[in-house]
Homo-oligomer: A and B are copies of this chain.
């Protein structure tokens, strides 16, 4: 079923944007080619053909037409990664003879020297005979094509090869970003670099660099050195480092949009410059998480003079055409309490804080315009009088974005892409900047530029940030690049697992650091039982972590919740096995063996975990979880026994087992939650109803079990 579905998807894709591609329904496009690919994001049009280009020591790349240092460096990186994946000795450097090269990259021109919004990122890949042809109008297009080519690499007994294929590809949205908040927790340049590599691999094209916050001012200002000196704990980027990051991003076709979040979220500015604040100060760097009162004073001319000098300095440092001014979550409490601000408002006829912020933004806008920068800010900046040259960045949602579009504003979506909230990839994947039911006109849709995943950094360290970004952000990258009909969640997860392993070659630590944290907590290499536990728990969602496990920016990020992954693969597998078992009524054999193995592991991990947690106080949080884990294993095994024996449990059994689930679902100080409870409830209900299985059709029985499991009263 799955394979057929995937095939259908390709065929549909082939039609979507390039009518010259033959209709899938008419032609057996996939004969001889692989029926499953690992491409992510899925290209606009893919047609697999007969044949393959084999990877061996003679492998080499040549360029035709335009070539430059950026393209050549990208080809070198491509060769290194290909070498690493295949274990074939491939010689670095370009081939001079295009006819003899395995890959020919043909660029029409350099494109923008500095990556720019709307740059042509399209490319075509044609693999046939013994050669790969990559054709692109710009170097950035070629870069995107090289990433696709690497993802095409597959192997069989005979070796590694690129399957014969024709691909025509271009992004659906122009703005495909990742916001990294390095203010709440600082990230050294190498963390940004490896994440830029990850972004390039997934064809993301904007690094939104959230540089200032209540908790840190992280950019060197030569004009106002007290900003970074007093507002950063010494953890800031020098201008040299910033230039290096921008160049690193440029090499990968990625724009860097800086954000200076004002007038709220600005405590760290005020540590060195209390005179900018709306209350007298003094101020200290904020250590908590949340929304804080300190805000710049929008009524004083010297504040604008300061901002003009500062933003002019920053405008020269950051070459992108856009500058993000934040503008979010300013509640104006300092403004309310400041009599001077109140009389200013009265004087100017500014009726409320929203209007005052609109006034502030108007002033900012003039400064940005002087510097040839376009303004972008969060939803809140959309106030009467805001010129439509401004871009709205929506944390509110697609509706707010659509409303803005109707008013003529460009916008990007982040609502639904808050990767800090620990939701599974599937949930982000389902969020479309232009939902299928959108009522926007063709012209209004053009205002929806794209979206950004947001890595807010209350609870990430350099050791854990990668595992919060990847691999889930790849699903968002696909949403922003691929045609909207690409929505098969199972196939997304299948490809995501492959991509996740590939991302490791870029130095990303999202997989490898899990064990590092577990070993540190255990103080040893014996982490088997911890891995069993971690496999089926996830960090709690939304903002519950801060509630269940209170902490500050100075707290360690080396606990169980930091090791846990927001998207449990084992829980997905468990859910599939349970569904398989229930669909197998009344035989109940299909998944029983594997299920029993998994459940036994849970049950057996409990005593080892308890012992571990008593030895290692940093694992104290594991104790309550261990008990639940053992109980869940036990409940599952009992359910399986009843099911496979076809015997109903005693009457009181049901309630007793449901209470185990309820116990396991209680909030815990670990800020972790079990990701298997829904499936476990199905299993329990199935056991209770096992006798009915012989009295109904399998489909009816399954339906009844699922309904009862979904009903909270049962």
Residue pair A87, B501 in contact (C-beta under 8 Å): no
Which residues of B are found within 8 Å of A552, using beta-carbon distances?
89
Residue pair B617, A86 in contact (C-beta under 8 Å): yes
Cα separation A155 to B511 with both chains bound (whole Å): 28
Residue pair A85, B618 in contact (C-beta under 8 Å): yes
Cα separation A515 to B504 with both chains bound (whole Å): 10
Residue pair A155, B616 in contact (C-beta under 8 Å): yes
Cα separation A451 to B228 with both chains bound (whole Å): 43
Near B by CB (< 8 A), chain A positions 516-537 give 516, 519-521, 523-525
Which residues of B are found within 8 Å of A108, using beta-carbon distances?
none
Task: Specify which of A158, A509, A551 lies most central, judged by the most chain B CB atoms within 10 Å of its CB.
Answer: A509
Which residues of B are found within 8 Å of A159, using beta-carbon distances?
617
Stretch at the interface among A380-388, A394-402, A555-563, A671-679: A555-563
Q: With A512-B515, A513-B512, A519-B504 as known contacts, state yes or no: A558 contacts B87, CB within 8 Å.
A: yes
CB distance from A553 to the nearest CB of B (A): 10
Q: Does A594 contact B (CB under 8 A)?
A: no
Which residues of B are found within 8 Å of A459, using beta-carbon distances?
none
Select from chain B the residue with minimum beta-carbon distance to A521: B87
Interface string of A70-97 (1 = CB under 8 A from B): 0000000000000111111111100000
**Number of A residues whose C-beta is below 8 Å from B?**
49
Task: Name the contact of A524 in the complex, choosing from B89, B158, B501, B614 (C-beta under 8 A).
Answer: B501
Residue pair B512, A89 in contact (C-beta under 8 Å): no
Residue pair A92, B233 in contact (C-beta under 8 Å): yes
CB distance from A229 to the nearest CB of B (A): 15
Near B by CB (< 8 A), chain A positions 132-174 give 155-160
Q: Does A554 contact B (CB under 8 A)?
A: yes
Residue pair B88, A556 in contact (C-beta under 8 Å): yes
Cα separation A210 to B490 with both chains bound (whole Å): 51
Residue pair A551, B520 in contact (C-beta under 8 Å): no
Residue pair A523, B155 in contact (C-beta under 8 Å): yes
Which residues of B are found within 8 Å of A512, using beta-carbon distances?
509, 512-513, 515-516
Task: Specify which of A87, A158, A159, A559 lies most central, judged by the most chain B CB atoms within 10 Å of its CB.
Answer: A87
Residue pair A554, B520 in contact (C-beta under 8 Å): no
Residue pair A84, B558 in contact (C-beta under 8 Å): yes
Which residues of B are found within 8 Å of A655, using beta-carbon distances?
none
Interface string of A614-637 (1 = CB under 8 A from B): 111110000000000000000000
Residue pair B516, A497 in contact (C-beta under 8 Å): no
Q: Does A498 contact B (CB under 8 A)?
A: yes
Cα separation A552 to B509 with both chains bound (whole Å): 28
Cα separation A28 to B89 with both chains bound (whole Å): 62
Task: Name the contact of A520 in the complex, choosing from B157, B158, B505, B523 (C-beta under 8 A).
Answer: B505
Cα separation A502 to B520 with both chains bound (whole Å): 7
Near B by CB (< 8 A), chain A positions 154-212 give 155-160, 190
Cα separation A112 to B505 with both chains bound (whole Å): 42
Residue pair B504, A525 in contact (C-beta under 8 Å): no
CB distance from A193 to the nearest CB of B (A): 10
Task: Name the contact of A89 in the complex, choosing from B90, B523, B556 (C-beta under 8 A).
Answer: B556
Select from chain B the residue with minimum beta-carbon distance to A617: B159
Which residues of B are found within 8 Å of A524, using beta-carbon distances?
497-498, 501
Residue pair B504, A523 in contact (C-beta under 8 Å): no
Residue pair B520, A85 in contact (C-beta under 8 Å): yes
CB distance from A625 to the nearest CB of B (A): 15
Cα separation A608 to B516 with both chains bound (whole Å): 27
Which residues of B are found within 8 Å of A156, using beta-carbon distances?
615
Q: With A91-B554, A156-B615, A556-B84 as known contacts, state yes or no: A516 contacts B520, CB within 8 Å.
A: no
Residue pair B525, A519 in contact (C-beta under 8 Å): no
Which residues of B are found within 8 Å of A513, using beta-carbon distances?
512
Which residues of B are found within 8 Å of A84, using beta-carbon distances?
520, 556, 558
Cα separation A518 to B497 with both chains bound (whole Å): 15
Residue pair B515, A501 in contact (C-beta under 8 Å): no
Which residues of B are found within 8 Å of A516, using beta-carbon distances?
504, 511-512
Residue pair A501, B521 in contact (C-beta under 8 Å): no
Residue pair A155, B497 in contact (C-beta under 8 Å): no
CB distance from A110 to the nearest CB of B (A): 21
Select from chain B the residue with minimum beta-carbon distance to A76: B234
Select from chain B the residue with minimum beta-carbon distance to A621: B87
Task: Name the contact of A155 in the complex, choosing from B91, B554, B555, B615 (C-beta under 8 A).
Answer: B615
CB distance from A482 to the nearest CB of B (A): 22
Residue pair A155, B617 in contact (C-beta under 8 Å): yes
Which residues of B are found within 8 Å of A87, using beta-carbon distances?
521, 556, 558-559, 617-618
Cα separation A268 to B502 with both chains bound (whole Å): 34
Which residues of B are found within 8 Å of A505, using beta-carbon distances?
520
Cα separation A498 to B522 with both chains bound (whole Å): 10
Which residues of B are found within 8 Å of A519, using beta-carbon distances?
501, 504, 511
Residue pair B501, A556 in contact (C-beta under 8 Å): no
Task: Name the contact of A501 in the complex, choosing from B83, B523, B618 (C-beta under 8 A).
Answer: B523
Task: Name the contact of A525 in the complex, choosing from B91, B501, B520 (C-beta under 8 A).
Answer: B501
Cα separation A551 to B523 with both chains bound (whole Å): 38
Cα separation A515 to B511 with both chains bound (whole Å): 9
Select from chain B the residue with minimum beta-carbon distance to A616: B155
Select from chain B the residue with minimum beta-carbon distance to A524: B501
Cα separation A616 to B157 with both chains bound (whole Å): 7
Which residues of B are found within 8 Å of A525, using beta-carbon distances?
497, 500-501, 511
Select from chain B the residue with minimum beta-carbon distance to A555: B89
Cα separation A88 to B521 with both chains bound (whole Å): 12
CB distance from A97 to the nearest CB of B (A): 20
Cα separation A89 to B288 with both chains bound (whole Å): 13
Which residues of B are found within 8 Å of A190, using beta-carbon distances?
190
Residue pair B523, A617 in contact (C-beta under 8 Å): no
Cα separation A88 to B552 with both chains bound (whole Å): 12
Cα separation A614 to B614 with both chains bound (whole Å): 45
Residue pair A86, B614 in contact (C-beta under 8 Å): no
CB distance from A569 to the nearest CB of B (A): 8
Which residues of B are found within 8 Å of A83, using beta-carbon distances?
556, 558
The 3 closest A-B pairs by CB, nearest first: A87-B618, A512-B512, A89-B555
26 A-B residue pairs with CB within 8 Å: A85-B558, A85-B618, A86-B556, A87-B556, A87-B559, A87-B618, A88-B556, A89-B551, A89-B555, A89-B556, A90-B556, A92-B233, A155-B618, A156-B615, A157-B617, A159-B617, A500-B525, A501-B523, A502-B520, A504-B516, A504-B519, A504-B520, A511-B515, A511-B525, A512-B513, A512-B515
Assuming A83-B558, A85-B558, A497-B525, what are 15 further A-B pairs, CB within 8 angstroms?
A84-B520, A86-B556, A87-B558, A89-B555, A90-B554, A91-B554, A160-B618, A498-B524, A500-B525, A501-B519, A501-B520, A511-B515, A511-B525, A512-B515, A512-B516
